[in-house]
Chain A
Amino acid sequence: MSPNGNAQSDRPLVDRARAGDEAALSELYQSYFPRVYRYILARTGNTHDAEDLAEEVFMRVLEAIERFQWREAPFSAWLFRIAHNAVISQRRKETARGKTGPLTDGLPIDSDGPDELIERRLVLNEVMEAAKRLPEAQRQVIALRFGAGLSVAETARAMNKGEGNVKVIQHKAIGKLREMMGQAPRKKKQRQPVNEGTKA
């Protein structure tokens, strides 16, 4: 699920970015921005928040990248901790303002027309409504695994948990989502295996 498979394969690129290489910074951004966007979308269910916060996450990356250390975590785990903290920070601000964000009204890709678009929105809203009722750790695993496309190993590092623990949490989360989403039957589509290992 990770675009890199091996987290260490990012190393030359990240090291160049840390040294200020603009091409490397650009490549890093292009590689991770869609995943950060989807992760935030999975956490907030709102495309506008996902757009703004994803941009904000990369500004925070610039502030912190010089202090990033390989011995402590893979880059992806480090990056998604920043994304997580950005989401939490945003949530605190919204709570303080008494604002609750609406679900998404953004445009998904591959939409064939208005019907398809509306159905996708409904599906996302349904998933988000169900995910809202999950415990925090389960929501986090769902967002990291299916939004960010991290592997179980990367998810474990991002959450500072063991891989076995992440698998257990994932199992519980999927089971609960199934129960909740099963209460609102919806149109099933024919599904094909995804051929590429990347989302980004």
Chain B
Amino acid sequence: MKARKLDEILEESLTAYLEGRRSIEDSLSLYPSVASELAPLLRTAVDVSRTFDGYEPPEHVRERGLQRFLNDARARRRLKALARDTEPTGFVPSWLRGIFSGGRMGLVGAAAAVAVITIAVGSAALLDNGSGSNDGIVQPIPTQNDDTETPVAVANLQSQIASIRARIDRGETVTVDDLLDIATKAKAVGAAEVEGNEEAVTAVFNDADDLFNDVVATQPDLADEADDAQGAVRNVAGGLGIDLPPASPAGTPATPPAVTDAPTAPASPTTAPTAAPTAAPTPGSTTTSAPTPPPEPTATPAPRSLPGINP
């Protein structure tokens, strides 16, 4: 009973001291019946508190961390925007898909596609000319920008994939910026004229897709962003009629799962913060989110992660 009371008095006196409302001596006067026990506890608590209060992160560390924090936040926003931008806006005819997928139509399909496009453009021009609404001026078909010429765009994407792949092989970490870069370069390939480069384009999209699967497997903390980037790349691929294989499930987990704390902790999943760890797949994507990693063997039994959070 008395111990319980002392818990409360210690906490009340300590908070009053730390908030500058009351000195230690004032608290001891306020609680004379427990003053002899309270005094050494309060002085120890104040010692400990002031010890930590004496430390501040160095300014350059704080600034470096802030820049990294904001840069990462920007990259995540751009990645999400890119994933939205690349969402399919229309139906891709199966005959056009056949050009890439090597289906039954094959070259016949490609020839048919070219013929249909030619006829359509020609018809539009004739109709336009005939209507007189534009004084007989036929609007030119937009030409490709040099920056998005397929070989250049494909080479850029290949180069970026190779660079990141090499870093993964060296055990280095991939950043959100890296994922954004791949998605951006994939989008550039999607904007280029692909005819005649179907094989290279298909190969590079497959490589990108494999890379995202590897990132999810080796860096589960980047799973959401890798899913976004993979979704964006798959959307671009889908728009080109490229059939990528279903995304493989994530591999070996790299971070420990959230587990309950010390034995006295009344861990309740209903009060734990954060929602389910899986990300909503990007519309149009056929990827699957990384599953929650299984428990990792622990070397030290005593400390445990707090419940409900495993970002």
A positions within 8 Å CB-CB of B: 1, 20, 22, 25-26, 29-30, 33-34, 37-38, 41-42, 47, 50-51, 54-55, 58-64, 67-69, 72-73, 77-78, 81-82, 84-85, 87-89, 91-92, 95-96, 106-110, 120, 123-124, 127, 135-137, 140, 142, 145-147, 151-152, 158-162, 164-165, 167-168, 170-171, 174-175, 177-178, 181, 191, 193-197, 199
Contacts and interface: CB of A to CB of B under 8 A. Distances in A.
B284 to A, nearest CB: 20
Contacts of B311: 60-61, 63-64, 82, 85
Main secondary structure of the interface of A (DSSP, over half): helix
B113 interface: no
B61 A160 contact: no
B55 A106 contact: yes
Nearest to B225: A63
B256 A88 contact: yes
Q: Which of B3, B22, B311 has the most CB of A within 10 A?
A: B311
Interface of B: 3-4, 6-8, 10-11, 15, 17-24, 40-41, 43-58, 61-62, 64-66, 68-70, 72-74, 76-77, 221-222, 224-225, 255-256, 258, 261-262, 264-268, 271-277, 296, 298-300, 302-311
A37 B302 CA distance: 23
28 contacts: A30-B62, A38-B53, A42-B52, A54-B61, A58-B65, A63-B225, A64-B274, A64-B311, A67-B276, A69-B275, A78-B274, A88-B256, A92-B256, A92-B300, A108-B55, A108-B56, A137-B264, A146-B52, A147-B52, A167-B10, A174-B44, A177-B44, A191-B43, A191-B46, A193-B20, A193-B21, A193-B23, A194-B17
A95 B261 contact: no
Nearest to A42: B52
Contacts of A58: 65, 69
Given A54-B57, A82-B311, A127-B48, A60 B221 contact: yes
B54 to A, nearest CB: 5
B20 A146 contact: no
B54 A82 contact: no
A29 B64 CA distance: 12
Please provide the 4 A-B residue pairs with the shortest distance between their CB atoms, ordered closest to farther: A64-B311, A178-B44, A55-B65, A37-B57
A47 B57 CA distance: 8
B90 to A, nearest CB: 29
Contacts of A109: 54-56
A36 B204 CA distance: 43
A69 B273 CA distance: 6
Contacts of A145: 49
A29 B267 contact: no
A174 B69 contact: no
A81 B57 contact: no
Contacts of B73: 20, 22, 25, 62
A144 to B, nearest CB: 11
Residue in B64, B73, B307 with the greatest tally of chain A CB atoms within 10 Å? B73
